[in-house]
Amino acid sequence: MTPSAARVIAPLPEVVYLGLGTNLGDRVGHLQQALFALATHPEIKVTAVSRVYETEYVGPGSQDPYLNACVQLRTRLRPRILLAILKGTEQRQGRKAGGHMQPRPIDLDILMFGQHVMDGPGLTLPHRQMRDRAFVLEPLTELAPHEKFPDSGETIASACAKIRRKSGPWIKVRMDVELGNSLPDNNKEGWRAALAVHSR
């Protein structure tokens, strides 16, 4: 068989975990729009969504509280391609370039990407600061408590338990917000209509 005739084998889908955050404008609407963009992308399959948490801002200065959630998805995209898609989604939702540690309508972070371990310009896997952040570990533990960090072998649940034993910024579940119920499931037009009503 010649090389040109060889069948190209597509990579297997990787399990990826994302963190979503927002503290500017219509926070619930921003989370819904970001989830919609992910769930309707042809190369992304959203497989699970955590509850939404309201959290105290962590960082220098003072900001309004954030809404945070985590998403599990499967994709054949490479890490940096997915990162570019997420950055494009942030920009379309109004996030300004260079706004690190500033209030933002949406923040989309790759937390873990399969078993990838990397530390390069603009992308570190697993996410460098996730093990120190309750607003990441609490929703992530809902989705994958027994998943292990590929660089250390520690489980997400174990890392979350360590955070719970420490004093830190407040965090609470928003029982009035259900992102998971909003996923398009062969009803994309109905989901668009619901989102349009919410955003009026």
> Cα separations (Å) of 51 from 38, 83, 167?
17, 23, 22
- Which residue in the list 76, 80, 109, 174 is annotated as catalytic? 109
| Residue of 27, 95, 131, 133 with catalytic role | 95
Host H or E run for residue 113: strand 107-113
Reduce the DSSP state of residue 35 to 3 states and report it.
Answer: helix
H-assigned helices in the chain: 27-39, 79-92, 134-143, 156-164, 188-198
The CA distances from residue 38 to 23, 31, 89, 96, 182, in Å, are 20, 11, 9, 20, 12
80 classed as catalytic: no
107 is catalytic: yes
- What span, in angstroms and rounded, lies between the C-alpha atoms of 59 and 74? 31
Tell which residue, 181, 160, 147, has the closest CA to residue 51.
181
Structure tokens at 132: 């120190």
Q: Active site includes 104?
A: yes
Please list the active-site residues: 95, 104, 107, 109
